[in-house]
């Protein structure tokens, strides 16, 4: 297994050495492709979780707006109530309290939806990519790597 030097100073590999070089090149290319795919999977997972967080933030903001507007109506209703008590006439304030009550119900619903979205979106962690990396590590370090590969390509963990 000695190297034969050719023009340019590069060694010429014999049969076994050429096969080893080809195998190492193939392993290197596949490893690089695998790392790129894992990075893409992690990006996709983080994007999905960030989207859920953004939706939760938007719904939470809507809940805050509803509470703010409801407070404005409560205060306006209180002002009309004070006017009514000091100067009895028609009861204008009940409409303001009804609108405030509806806005508070909407705020409660939006707050509930926001809490669900935040629980679903945090913490942003690429679970699928981590599971895949663990499976790859098990496969590489196992004495029987074929036993660590899932039996069906669409099988989910």
* pLDDT, one tens digit for every residue, the chain (157 residues): 445 545 555 556 566 888 888 888 888 898 888 888 888 888 888 888 888 889 889 999 999 999 999 988 887 887 777 677 666 666 666 666 767 777 888 899 999 998 888 887 766 677 777 888 787 777 777 777 677 666 655 555 4
- The backbone torsions φ and ψ at residue 89, rounded to the nearest 5 degrees and listed phi first, read -160, -140
CB-based contact 42:126 (threshold 8 Å):
yes
DSSP 8-state class, residue 152: S
Instruction: Give the distance between the most distant pair of CA atoms in the chain.
Output: 112
What are the structural domain ranges in the chain?
14-125
Torsion from C-alpha of 59, 63, 69, 70, nearest 10 degrees: 150
Question: Which pLDDT score is estimated for 57?
Answer: 92
Question: Which pLDDT score is estimated for 138?
Answer: 79
Token readout for 130 is 């981590």
Q: Give the integer Cα–Cα distance in Å for 44 and 125.
A: 11
Question: Which pLDDT score is estimated for 97?
Answer: 72
pTM above 0.75, yes or no: no
């Amino acid at each position: 297994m000695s190297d034969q030097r050719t023009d340019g100073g590069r060694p010429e590999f014999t049969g076994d050495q050429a096969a080893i070089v080809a195998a190492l090149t193939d392993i290197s290319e596949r490893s690089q492709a695998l790392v790129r795919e894992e990075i893409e999977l992690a990006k996709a997972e983080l994007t999905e979780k960030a989207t859920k967080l953004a939706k939760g933030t938007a719904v939470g903001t809507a809940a805050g707006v509803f509470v703010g507007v409801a407070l404005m109506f409560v205060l306006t209703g209180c002002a009309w109530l004070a006017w009514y008590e000091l100067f009895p006439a028609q009861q204008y304030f009940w409409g303001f309290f009804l609108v405030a009550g509806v806005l508070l119900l909407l705020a409660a619903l939006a707050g509930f939806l926001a809490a669900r979205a935040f629980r679903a979106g945090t913490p942003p962690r690429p679970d699928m990519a981590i599971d895949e990396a663990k499976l790859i590590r098990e496969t590489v370090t196992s004495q029987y790597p074929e036993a660590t590969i899932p039996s069906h390509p669409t099988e989910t963990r």
